[in-house]
Amino acid sequence: MFKKILVANRGEIAIRVIRTLKEMGIRSVAVYSEADRACLHVREADEAVCIGPAMARESYLHIPAVISAAKVTGAEAIHPGYGFLSENPVFSAACVENGIVFIGPSPRAIEMLGHKSSARKIAVKGGIPVTPGTRDCVTKDYLKEAEKIGFPIMIKAAAGGGGKGIRIVREKEKLNHEFEMASSEAKAAFSNGDVYFEKYIDCPRHVEVQFARDSMGNAIAFPERDCSIQRRHQKLLEESPSPAVNQKLRGRLEEAAISLADTAGYVGVGTVEFLMDREKNFYFMEVNTRLQVEHPVTETITRTDLVREQVLIAAGEKLSLSRARASAFDGHAIEHRINAEDFSRNFAPSVGRIEEWIVPGGPGIRLDTHMYHGYTLPIYYDSMLAKLIVWGPDRAAAIARSRRALGEFRVGGLSTTIDVHKMIVDSPEFQTGDVDTGFMERLLKSRQ
């Protein structure tokens, strides 16, 4: 087992990883930018190294700086968290070249599955349903390819995620313009302008399955997460299990995730994302070759530490869970992403000093955060302040607990999305579980 691991990230996910390392008796190394000297993950780690200026490309995304920090401190492995370099095959390869274990899949797996077009081919090979779409990236004959599928279509960046490089095209007259916009945005975000086309499924649910596979070929899958509540393709709230999935369908989803992991020869923890229509047909969407932001809902209902499983797999050990144990769950969990955004100004980012920080507590409450009273939120990074995760013995109890916890949450000095989450849990649609990816747009229109 490793003696020291560097965490190549910041904020709440860095703290999340450091906590597991402490429980495993492994020393942790934090890295930070000049803007993050006062960030809580710097204090929580056993050691901390400044790796550059505030801009992410000069610090958290600067591969030589991260590798140097690991070598200087004697870290044997690097945990990338999510975002930044977590799905970068060049970074994974750089770790290998420098004799450092990357806690994640191989560079080849990241490249194959991180490129959505090649991931679709692997899904097809594994017998997983995919939405009708182009077999490869589209470089010419845009209209011809789109008409083969039939409008409306979705243009998607092949090399990225997070809602970037995505365009819905309902009319052929808009195809060329939207193609150029999607490709340009993909190029700016991922240094790769490749895009492909998929049939657009109107008002689907977005469900995903967490899986893990060790180097001996043992694979497990966990109960699905429902991530349908989104704004501009960015998730706001996630829950597990999905109110739209029964046990039979759950088994099919889990088998699909395991099939993909086996087909790809994947080693590590990952997530397969699906779109599901109203007839409960599900279609492969993409693979995230890292830990998800919403992983705590899976941990909460299965009593599992996914970071621990990542470390065990990276150390060459066998998964600590059987397939049956991973599939078993208790109760219902909901995660609320609390962001520093101003709802009244079209969710404009809000920055400044936290003048008040009163967090919820009590039974069934987990809060993952790097915030504290007096902390000044930097302008350079993601706007997420905290992840509020609630558990209840059933969905109705989890919703009631969410309402109570959100009512206790007090943040002064910044605008937050706490009130937006109150709106969500009070919505009759959400309470009945009858939601889809268009839910937030309808909800926000109803409040204007």
Give the residue numbers annotated as catalytic, written as ranges: 290
Answer for the pair 240, 333: CB distance below 8 angstroms, yes or no. Answer: yes
Structure tokens at 213: 């596979």
Q: How far does Cα 319 stand from its chain's mean position?
A: 22
Helix (H) or strand (E) holding 4: strand 4-7
Residue 402 CA to residue 416 CA, distance in Å, equals 16
144 CB-near residues (< 8 Å, 6+ apart): none
Rg (CA), the chain: 21
Which residues, in sequence order, are bridge partners of residue 284? Answer: 130, 274
Question: Measuring CA to CA, how many Å separate 217 from each of 60, 259, 265, 305, 339?
Answer: 32, 12, 8, 20, 39
Q: Is 314 exposed, middle or buried (0-12, 13-18, 19+ CB in 10 A)?
A: buried
Amino acid in position 302: T
Residue 94 CA to residue 123 CA, distance in Å, equals 28
Amino acid in position 390: V
Amino acid in position 155: I
Residue 133 CA to residue 154 CA, distance in Å, equals 9
Residue 374 CA to residue 164 CA, distance in Å, equals 33
Question: Measuring CA to CA, how many Å separate 268 from each of 219, 272, 274, 288, 371?
Answer: 9, 13, 20, 11, 30
Answer for the pair 229, 65: CB distance below 8 angstroms, yes or no. Answer: no
Answer for the pair 306, 208: CB distance below 8 angstroms, yes or no. Answer: no
Residue 283 CA to residue 256 CA, distance in Å, equals 10
Instruction: List the end-to-end C-alpha distance of the chain, in Å, as a whole number.
Output: 55
Residue 402 CA to residue 434 CA, distance in Å, equals 18
Which residues, in sequence order, are bridge partners of residue 26? Answer: none
